[in-house]
Amino acid sequence: MGRYTRIRFVIVALILNASVAVMFRVVTLPPPVMAIHAIPIPVTRPVRYGTPVHLWVPSLGLSLRVSTGTYDAATASWTVGNGKAYYADQTVPANDTSGTTLIYGHARANVFANLPSIKPGATAIVATDTGYTFTYTYSSMGVVAPSDTSVLTDDGSPTLVLQTCMGDWSAYRGLFSFTLSGVTKT
């Protein structure tokens, strides 16, 4: 190797070492400090909600006290009694944001026996423990097997579903769906 070749080799090696050192330093530099500006947080209206305590369906002459009940998946049984309806506590409380509120009861004269005669556009009114009154408009009816509990996990727009037994020997469950049409504070 000649003298000039060694000098060029040393110069190239120094340049490469310096380049690697600079690259390493650039990669490990902390990010620059930037001014933080306040970001406005969007204001959302408070959710109005409450556990149902009373149900009216004026077109059916129905006025019922509502207690809290539950569905026990292990025994496939519902908390249920005579003379009142039950709010299924696995569903969302009545609210103006989202989800299905389920109220269920027996198909007896003093509870939900007249539900099958309800007409489209009928009103259901739910009073809650928080002082809100939710008004719903009847939209549709479906029939499911007693083992179908999908209504307990339903979401989407605020909906009220009234559930009762239907058919010979109460072989089916009628699901009467209502869409939210208004909320007032009493």
Q: How far apart are CA 117 and CA 57, in angstroms?
A: 12
Percent of the chain at pLDDT exceeding 90: 65
Q: Which residue has the tokens 């369906």?
A: 57
Distance CA 17, CA 76 (A): 75
Query: DSSP characters for 65-86?
Result: EEEEE-EETTTTEE---SSSEE
Residue range 7-60, pLDDT digits in tens? 776 676 667 666 666 555 555 556 666 556 666 666 555 589 999 999 999 999
pLDDT of residue 71: 94
Mean pLDDT of the chain, nearest integer: 87
CA dist 105 and 82 (Å) reads 8
Residue 41 to residues 38, 48, 97: CA-CA distances in angstroms? 9, 21, 19
pLDDT one-digit tens code per residue, 105-121: 999 999 999 999 999 99
- 114: phi > 0 → left, psi -120 to 50 → alpha, else beta; which? alpha
Which residue ranges form the domains of the chain, and what is each CATH number? 49-185 (2.40.260.10)
